[in-house]
Structure 1
Amino acid sequence: MANRLGHRHDGSVSEIVSKRSSRNAKLAKIPLGIAGRAAVGFGRKLAGGDKQEINAELNQKAAEQLFAVLGELKGGAMKFGQALSVFEAAVPEEFGEHYREALTKLQSAAPPMPTAAVHRQLDQQLGTGWRQRFREFDDNPTASASIGQVHKAEWSDGRIVAVKVQYPGADEALRADLKTLNRMAGMMGAIIPGADVKPILAEISERTEEELDYRIEGGHQRQFAKAFEGHPRFLVPKVVASAPKVIVTEWLDNATPVAKVISHGMEDPAGTLEQRNSVAALMGEFHFSSPTIAGLLHADPHPGNFMVMPDGRLAVIDYGACAPLPNGFPPILGQMVALAVEERFDELTELMTTNGWVIPGKTVSHQEIQDYLRPFTDPIKTETFHFTRKWMQRVAGKATDLTNQDMMKTARALQLPAEYVMIFRVLGGSIGICAQLDAELPFMKLMQDWVPGYKEYRTAS
């Protein structure tokens, strides 16, 4: 690693401020551009143009504009894009590869910040003598994310470390982006099939302040690292140092990103079947077991946060978004699954009603609950389940089918209690990645082993 502890002034504050001031203008152009193209497309259809061809062209241009802006702006825009990326498998094939490619790019790609800005952040966060804490520091970032970028360095004790530095003004940009994106939620939901946009934005907005303070992330990661230390299947890098806008963790050598496993699987499904199934099983076990083992749920499930080590262990990074579950998963979750498995929908309906899953004043019958849940229950009907893009597309299509009045009527009577929002976000994201991997895994065994209430409720009943 080259020694890069010297200064290099290749950026200015005015340049950063200028870029930040154009954020809302760029985001605001998205709905205007889509509306304008839709009007032109409508005119072409009236003139006798091929409707399917025109729709495909409009979808492609809409996707290209949306994701190009999300990726360029970092901040809340890119964080939203990363959250959407796990639902890439739900995008119907007729919408083409432009959605898939654009969503996947948002998992780890963003333009780097100037070196001078990196050094200023390190001065402010680690002290002006920060260079003495490193033997070497590479000014060229190795990765970028929604609110920060990562540099490889050597700590004073000889350890190779990853230094995540928050972008200057990331806090203001993140809040501004989320405010603008929330206003555009309805439009974006219409052009991104398979993703429920509003809850994703609501959850990101709610956890904004936590993710902006890397000391909170450092605390989460320390808790995970201690709980999983020496684990034969998982690796959590230890935290070396943390400040509000800088966090230093152990470096992962020769790690293969899960995104690469996914892309290789798409190119050669037969050749990587064993690895894809193994990765999916490890991700499932990590998410299901971590509340019991660590008292926390890693709540940022996109492929950029998971890597496969040469010895087969799954390495997990980025602990900015975590949900505290000190007593593990709520037992009611296991009870609901047990009732759904045995198709005791009358008891399930009563359980949901008395525990806040049905909106007060609304009523639903057990037949309505049974019909509503039918598209989602495939993974709990067998000991193992093969998650595929076709299955994901079918489920997402039924869940968002506005022409199914009965389904919509039931949906309007139901609500997700606040304490389950993050759990279902992680569950949905994990399933999305399993579908991208085209993997088969023992989903029900994970549920039985790690979710309290399932075994007990079935035995007691």
Structure 2
Amino acid sequence: MSDTGRDIPRGAVSRTARLASLPLGAAGRATLGIGKRLSGVSSEEVSAELQQQTAEQLFAVLGQLKGGAMKLGQQLSIFEAAVPEEMAGPYREALVKLQEAAPPMPVRTVHAVLAQQLGGSWRERFRDFDDTPAAAASIGQVHRATWRDGRDVAVKIQYPGAGTALMADLNQLARFARMFAVLFPGMEVKPLIAELKLRAEEELDYGLEADAQRAFAAAYADDDQIVVPRVVASAPKVIVSEWLEGIPLSRVIADGTREQRNRAGLLMSVLHFSGPQRAGLLHADPHPGNYRLVPDGRLGVIDFGATARLPGGHPEPIGRLVRWALEGRAEDVLADLRAEGFVRESIEVDAQGVLDFLLPFLAPVSAPSFQFNRAWMQEQANRIGDPRSDASRLGRQLNLPPAYLLIHRVTMGSIGVLCQLDAEAPYRGVCEEWLPGFAG
């Protein structure tokens, strides 16, 4: 194993020590809050101050982690549209710093991994290889190169010891999941971390990722809306695929035109709903870093480490339930929710109350066109996140069946990105075309 690999356990120990400082900080902030309330400071002022202090300490810890923190950070960043700007701003800054601070692998390690994965004569496969990484991610980095036939390619290389470091970070972060609730009210971070741990093994296998990318590339070959780079070569720790130029969605979110925002939003929804029908797979990592608006107006997709196998397309009950809810069929909606396991048999709920709970979430498909934005996302988060509200009380009585867990997370993640884009598009029409059961 390389020196990089041997450093992993020592790094995990030091990260554990840094994370262990968090509970003391939380206890101190709680004591501070009680004292300030006794002195007459309003609960709203105390809450805002505690949020800020908690955010600052969490950001400081995230900045000292790498794989696990970046992975969790990317997932949480999808939902930052639901967070007030005073919290979202520092969060975005912390994530950018985390991504920029990721130290690259030493060149000798890069070459060693390529030799191990592609063979000792790996250089003969390339006309040119840039030793400076073009991008860094949670478990690997990307280099630009020229394949032997002249094609520009992206070479994705996994960090040695990435699996050990990633699992160590996620195990530690799981201990402090409640603290993230300060920044993301109403969001269950612990199940998210548990799911990341379960899927880590798949994401660490670049062979599986390459297979998923090949399936998507074949399904969208010559498509006029979606483009997926073809895989040129692959191994368990290396993927070589065609280079894809384009504007990252993060830049569109930051300063894109109205046309770019709307186009990106529409095509993200097309990918989400058409992927299971066309490729038998759901792209399960709707992070802005995984998408590009390419010069010809198509949406480019460049990362397939997280996918869900849905060979029959999206489950038909989802579309049928949405259609019945929009038609006001409260009793039918409740009956189907029970049949699918969303409402346990032992739970007594009012059918109209359940429909009233669901309808605000379905606004994007209740009209021919809809504009996602942060205000709408924050309204929904506040509606279900306030433990005193009827919606929150009802939400706690509902159940999310395991078969729908990943679909739900990906859908909510995609909605988070659409709200960041402030994108307006005919989402109802996309569902009518691609979501089984929606059009009847």
TM-score range (shorter-chain normalised) is over 0.9
* Residue 402 of structure 1: how far off its partner (Å): 0.9
- Within the candidate set 52, 57, 69, 1:65 is matched to 57
- Are 2:231 and 1:246 aligned? no
Conservation of the 8 A alpha-carbon contact between 1:67 and 1:81: no
Post-superposition Cα deviations, 1:389-422, rounded to whole Å, max 9, x if no partner, equal 1110000111111112x43442233212222112
Trace 1:246-325 onto structure 2 (pairs within 5 A).
Answer: 246-253=238-245, 255-265=246-256, 272-325=257-310
What is the identity, as a one-letter code, of the residue corresponding to 2:332?
Answer: E
- Are 2:189 and 1:189 aligned? no
Post-superposition Cα deviations, 1:296-346, rounded to whole Å, max 9, x if no partner, equal 110000100000111111100110100111111111111101111111111
Partner of 2:407: 423
* Residue 424 of structure 1: how far off its partner (Å): 1.5
Trace 1:443-458 onto structure 2 (pairs within 5 A).
Answer: 443-456=427-440
- Are 2:321 and 1:341 aligned? no
TM-score (norm 1): 0.89
- Are 2:358 and 1:367 aligned? no
| Compared CA separation, residues 288 and 32, structure 1 to 2 (3 A) | same
- Within the candidate set 141, 149, 152, 2:141 is matched to 149
- Are 2:199 and 1:214 aligned? no
Conservation of the 8 A alpha-carbon contact between 1:138 and 1:153: yes
Conservation of the 8 A alpha-carbon contact between 2:387 and 2:393: no
SS of residue in 1 equivalent to 2:131:
coil
| Compared CA separation, residues 13 and 294, structure 1 to 2 (3 A) | closer
- Are 2:176 and 1:173 aligned? no
Give ranges in structure 2 of 5+ residues lacking alignment.
none
| Compared CA separation, residues 260 and 229, structure 1 to 2 (3 A) | same
* Residue 228 of structure 1: how far off its partner (Å): 0.6
Partner of 2:150: 158
Conservation of the 8 A alpha-carbon contact between 2:82 and 2:184: no
* Residue 12 of structure 1: how far off its partner (Å): 5.7
Partner of 1:411: 395
Conservation of the 8 A alpha-carbon contact between 1:63 and 1:102: no
Conservation of the 8 A alpha-carbon contact between 1:88 and 1:103: no
- How many residue pairs get aligned? The number is 439
| Compared CA separation, residues 327 and 98, structure 1 to 2 (3 A) | same
Trace 1:48-127 onto structure 2 (pairs within 5 A).
Answer: 55-95=47-87, 97-103=89-95, 110-127=102-119
Alpha-carbon distance in 1 for matches of 2:48, 2:194: 30
TM-score (norm 2): 0.93
What is the identity, as a one-letter code, of the residue corresponding to 2:78?
Answer: V
- Within the candidate set 121, 142, 145, 1:129 is matched to 121
| Compared CA separation, residues 258 and 57, structure 1 to 2 (3 A) | same
| Compared CA separation, residues 217 and 252, structure 1 to 2 (3 A) | same
| Compared CA separation, residues 36 and 114, structure 1 to 2 (3 A) | farther
CA RMSD between the two structures: 2.3
| Compared CA separation, residues 436 and 109, structure 1 to 2 (3 A) | farther
- Are 2:335 and 1:350 aligned? yes
Partner of 2:315: 330
Alpha-carbon distance in 2 for matches of 1:137, 1:291: 35
* Identical residues among aligned pairs (%): 53
SS of residue in 1 equivalent to 2:20:
helix
Residue range with higher mean Cα deviation, 62-71 or 288-297: 62-71
What is the identity, as a one-letter code, of the residue corresponding to 2:305?
Answer: G
Conservation of the 8 A alpha-carbon contact between 1:107 and 1:302: no
| Compared CA separation, residues 50 and 369, structure 1 to 2 (3 A) | closer
Alpha-carbon distance in 1 for matches of 2:437, 2:321: 9
What is the identity, as a one-letter code, of the residue corresponding to 1:139?
Answer: D
Partner of 2:421: 437
Residue range with higher mean Cα deviation, 170-179 or 208-217: 170-179
SS of residue in 2 equivalent to 1:454:
coil
Alpha-carbon distance in 2 for matches of 1:440, 1:321: 27
Conservation of the 8 A alpha-carbon contact between 1:281 and 1:442: yes
What is the identity, as a one-letter code, of the residue corresponding to 1:417?
Answer: P
Give ranges in structure 1 of 5+ residues lacking alignment.
1-9, 266-271, 457-461
What is the identity, as a one-letter code, of the residue corresponding to 2:340?
Answer: N
* Residue 204 of structure 1: how far off its partner (Å): 1.3
